[in-house]
């Protein structure tokens, strides 16, 4: 790839170029704001549906004493809740990928600002390189983050909740089939563990698919 020319080498560089850069920066910032709003909205909607499902199940259980009516109701509402949860999980993965590209775009624009005014570099807190360390600097103001940062992300939290719902649904199906308490517990735990691994692998593959061929244009 031919490296891009420095902005200082562009003939006739003037204020219109700065206006173009700042306009694009605000456009990316607005798009990133909408992306995060969607992340919070989708996560909140799923948690609301999940809470309503739990409350509804508890009311039916109190009324039917965990009888056949409860099992029928659980087999109706839990798959719907799980479907919403899976849709939320995969959309959050997509939103995080989109947000990463927006961060890359803004880092490149900050790099352009510093080509125009290199003396301003000490005043920039966010990253101005589009390589992984530069992206992480914009995300967390450091080159790398720990495990706790990744575990607290919305996709991971929603994925874990989805895995628990899978385990509960598997236990309910096992009970409806006449399984004993021990068998229901084992089936539920194994189903939840398998769902956790599967969702993690699918999420990682999606991220890896997007980032595999990426080459930074302005590495640090």
Q: Is the model's pLDDT at 145 over the cut of 60? A: yes
| CA of residue 201 relative to chain centroid, distance | 14
Digit-coded pLDDT (tens) for 17-49? 788 888 898 999 999 999 999 999 999 999 999
Q: Is the model's pLDDT at 147 over the cut of 90? A: no
Alpha-carbon gap, residue 161 to 109, rounded angstroms? 38
Alpha-carbon gap, residue 36 to 138, rounded angstroms? 15
Q: Is the model's pLDDT at 146 over the cut of 80? A: no
Of the candidate ranges 4-18, 118-132, 149-163, 171-185, the one whose mean pLDDT is the lowest? 4-18
Q: What is the pLDDT of residue 12?
A: 42
Alpha-carbon gap, residue 218 to 131, rounded angstroms? 7
The candidate with the shortest Cα–Cα distance to 5, out of 118, 120, 111, 124, is 111
């Amino acid at each position: 790839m031919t490296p891009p020319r420095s902005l200082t080498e562009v003939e006739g560089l003037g204020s219109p170029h700065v206006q173009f850069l700042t306009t694009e920066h605000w456009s990316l910032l607005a798009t990133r704001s909408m992306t995060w709003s969607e992340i919070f909205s989708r996560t909140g909607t799923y948690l609301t549906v999940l809470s309503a499902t739990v409350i509804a199940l508890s009311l039916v259980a109190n009324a039917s004493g965990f009888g056949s009516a409860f099992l029928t109701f659980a087999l109706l509402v839990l798959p719907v809740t799980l479907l919403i949860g899976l849709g939320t999980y995969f959309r959050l993965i997509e939103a995080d990928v989109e947000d990463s590209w927006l961060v890359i775009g803004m880092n490149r624009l900050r790099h352009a600002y510093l080509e125009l005014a290199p003396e301003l570099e000490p005043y920039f807190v966010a990253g101005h390189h589009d390589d992984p360390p530069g992206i992480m600097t914009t995300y967390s103001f450091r080159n790398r983050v720990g495990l706790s940062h990744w575990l607290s992300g919305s996709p991971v939290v929603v994925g874990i909740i989805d895995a628990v719902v899978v385990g509960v649904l598997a236990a309910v199906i096992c009970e409806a089939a006449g399984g004993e308490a021990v068998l229901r517990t084992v089936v539920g735990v194994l189903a939840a563990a398998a769902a956790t691994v599967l969702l993690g692998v699918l999420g990682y593959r999606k991220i890896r698919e997007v980032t595999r061929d990426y080459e930074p244009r302005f590495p640090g």
